[in-house]
Amino acid sequence: MAFVGKKFPNLDVDAMNDMGDTFKLNVLEEAKNNNKKVLLFWYPKDFTFVCPTELHAFQEALSEFEKRNTIVIGASCDTPEVHFAWLNTSKDNGGIEGVTYPILADSNRNLSSTLGILDISNETYNEETGVVTVEGDNVTYRATYLMDEEGTVFHEGINHMPVGRNVAEFLRLIDAYAHVQKNGEVCPANWEEGKDAMSANRDGVASYLASH
């Protein structure tokens, strides 16, 4: 199910911060109550390989997201305790020490299941035992959601496990959507802040294509 153009699911999820506090976090309410955009990125597992590179990359760009009135939230299906252990593991040991944004601990998989981003396939039901078995690790793909100040999703994307994300692309997408919100124009292919946008009509596209 695609969530672009729809409100993000209204669910409370356990979360952990760098201070070791476990608390409930509702991504939709974070956007609406704070009047901010939200970037939520999911990764498969703590203490793995590509994952820490992404968490550090989002941390390094955190000030750029903050300039754009955007909250960053990480997420996986690990428990809060595992998150805290990883947050206390140094970078040179594969840890994420220094990450300051909250990380969802969707260990019951309520939110990731609602989003449909779990790595599961070939569910099998045994009628004799009543047991359901699945193939896959039952962890999330590298899914990313951008939502506006009302909690409406304006971007979603899913990478397979081995492929890390480009953080700069999410900054570009936020810039583009903010331009649309402010100016009522639409942003063409490869648009970046400072480049020409165009009117959403036939004359607008004709004028843009003629000069580009």
How do residues 141-200 score in pLDDT, each as one tens digit? 999 999 999 999 999 999 999 999 999 999 999 999 999 999 999 999 999 999 999 999
Catalytic residue among 51, 104, 115, 118: 51
| pLDDT above 90: residue 138 | yes
Confidence of residue 20 (pLDDT cuts 50, 70, 90): very high
Residue type, 169: E
pLDDT at res. 163? 98
Confidence of residue 95 (pLDDT cuts 50, 70, 90): very high
| pLDDT above 90: residue 53 | yes
Confidence of residue 70 (pLDDT cuts 50, 70, 90): very high
Confidence of residue 121 (pLDDT cuts 50, 70, 90): confident
Taking CA atoms, 38 is separated from 17, 155, 162, in Å, by 17, 11, 24
d(CA 190, CA 208): 13
| pLDDT above 90: residue 110 | yes
**Three-class SS state of 120:** coil
Confidence of residue 105 (pLDDT cuts 50, 70, 90): very high
Share the mean pLDDT of the chain: 97
Taking CA atoms, 163 is separated from 38, 42, 43, 93, 210, in Å, by 22, 13, 11, 21, 37
Residue type, 42: W
% of the chain surpassing 70 pLDDT: 100
Taking CA atoms, 43 is separated from 13, 48, 117, 154, in Å, by 16, 10, 10, 20
Which residue, 30, 45, 28, 8, is CA-closest to 137?
45
Paired residues of 26 in beta bridges: 12
| pLDDT above 80: residue 1 | no
pLDDT at res. 134? 87
Least confident of 33-37, 131-135, 142-146: 131-135
| pLDDT above 80: residue 77 | yes
**Other CB atoms within 10 Å distance of the CB of residue 165:** 19
Distance between first and last Cα of the chain: 36
**Active site (annotated) includes residue 187:** no
| pLDDT above 80: residue 80 | yes
Confidence of residue 17 (pLDDT cuts 50, 70, 90): very high
Q: Give the residue ranges of DSSP H helices in the chain.
A: 27-34, 50-60, 62-67, 80-87, 110-115, 167-183, 202-211
Averaged over 75-104, what is the pLDDT? Answer: 98
d(CA 176, CA 188): 9
